[in-house]
Structure 1
């Protein structure tokens, strides 16, 4: 990973397979990612899109699936036109989720996002991602 790194982490009271489902199944993603519609086949090299509405404005983010290690690790590129940057490779982030089982049957879910322009931007993304991971945790734990 390059640039300033955004990080977030939660411990989910569920096994990794339940957390994995919340990360990869479109209906489950919609429930914790503010109604976002996720489209991909989760094959390495395949496109991925996120569509939704933020602050009353429609958006369509996109990326590419980089790594899929079912139940353990998921990595993808991510580009959002809402950032106001051109759609060029250097304006994509890499987002990686790592799931680690705990001894008591829970899951530590860690996220890293690289390619941030400054530490301030990384900190802002860390805060946003922390909120989203907390929403994912609530979704999984209420199932």
Structure 2
């Protein structure tokens, strides 16, 4: 049965500033390991991430399922690096939820359809690094 990976962080900034970091390709590149993000950020639009991971070029893809600035961004996501077929059952759903928190904004990332405990630990480690980089980028 697939698992869910979740990570949160509080960022000392308004939700609008955190939202900008989630949807501006120049900023995404800074915390997503140099990936180029391509989208028009509208519901139903495609979302592509291009880059290099562990020496391999990749082009991950998905769709924006829901977008409610500056509160919620929900996408689905497929990576050929997974070694799995490009089929609906192999897509993860990634949700970025922003909520007011004392001193700033709480950003929570949830990734569904995680294969097993090892993959969950890997995903949560990656999200922890990405969220930490977002916080550092915004807070300085």
Please tell me the root mean square deviation across aligned C-alpha atoms, in Å: 1.2
TM-score between the two structures when normalised by the length of structure 2: 0.95
Matches within 5 A, 1:116-135: 116-135=114-133
The number of equivalent residue pairs is 140
Task: Report deviation, 1:123.
Answer: 2.2
Partner residue in 2 for 1:43: 42
Q: Where do 5+ consecutive residues of structure 1 fail to align?
A: none
Task: Report deviation, 1:7.
Answer: 0.6
Secondary structure (helix, strand or coil) at the match of 1:130 reads helix
> What is the alpha-carbon distance in structure 1 between the residues aligned to residue 102 and residue 53 of structure 2?
38
Task: Report deviation, 1:61.
Answer: 0.3
> What is the alpha-carbon distance in structure 1 between the residues aligned to residue 102 and residue 126 of structure 2?
28
> What is the alpha-carbon distance in structure 2 between the residues aligned to residue 39 and residue 78 of structure 1?
13
Partner residue in 2 for 1:8: 7
Secondary structure (helix, strand or coil) at the match of 1:8 reads strand
TM-score between the two structures when normalised by the length of structure 1: 0.93
Q: Where do 5+ consecutive residues of structure 2 fail to align?
A: none
